[in-house]
Amino acid sequence: MKIDTQEILNKWKLYTLTNDNGMTVSFLNFGGIITDISVPNRHNQLENVVLGYKDYLDYEKNPNFFGAIIGRVAGRIQDASYTIENQTYTLVSNEGGHHLHGGDGGFHQVVWQASPFQTADTVGVKLSHKSLDGEGGYPGTFEVAVTYTLTNNNELILNYSGTSDKTTVLTMTNHSYFNLNGNLADTIHNHHVTMKSDEYVELNSELIPTGKKIDVSNTPFDFRNGRELVDGINSLSEQNSVANHGYDHYFILNQIQQHIISVKEDISGRVMTIKTNQPGLVMYTSNTLEDGLELAEGKSKPYLGVCFETQASPASLHHEGFPSVIIKANELYEKQTVFSFSIEG
**305 Cβ contact list (under 8 Å, min separation 6):** 50, 51, 176, 177, 178, 179, 188, 286, 289
The answer to whether residues 208 and 322 touch, using CB atoms and an 8 Å cutoff, is no
In 3D, which of 163, 212, 104 has the Cα closest to residue 334? 163
Choice among 155, 199, 265, 309 that is catalytic: 309
In 3D, which of 262, 178, 176 has the Cα closest to residue 226? 262
Amino acid at 305: G
Neighbours of 288 (CB within 10 A): 14
Q: Which residues pair with 281 in a beta bridge?
A: 251, 310
For 174, phi then psi, to 5°, come to -110, 140
Helix residue ranges per DSSP H, 28-124: none
Report the alpha-carbon distance of residue 258 to residue 113 in Å, rounded: 30
219: three-class secondary structure by DSSP: coil
DSSP conformation letters of 125-168: EEEEEEEPTTGGG--S-EEEEEEEEEETTSEEEEEEEEEESS-E
Annotation says 238 is catalytic: no
The answer to whether residues 222 and 275 touch, using CB atoms and an 8 Å cutoff, is no
Helix (H) or strand (E) holding 175: none
Annotation says 60 is catalytic: no
In 3D, which of 253, 226, 229 has the Cα closest to residue 240? 229
Amino acid at 38: S
Q: Give residue 85's Cα distance to chain centre.
A: 29
Choice among 98, 175, 191, 259 that is catalytic: 175
DSSP character for 296?
T
Enumerate the active-site residues: 175, 309
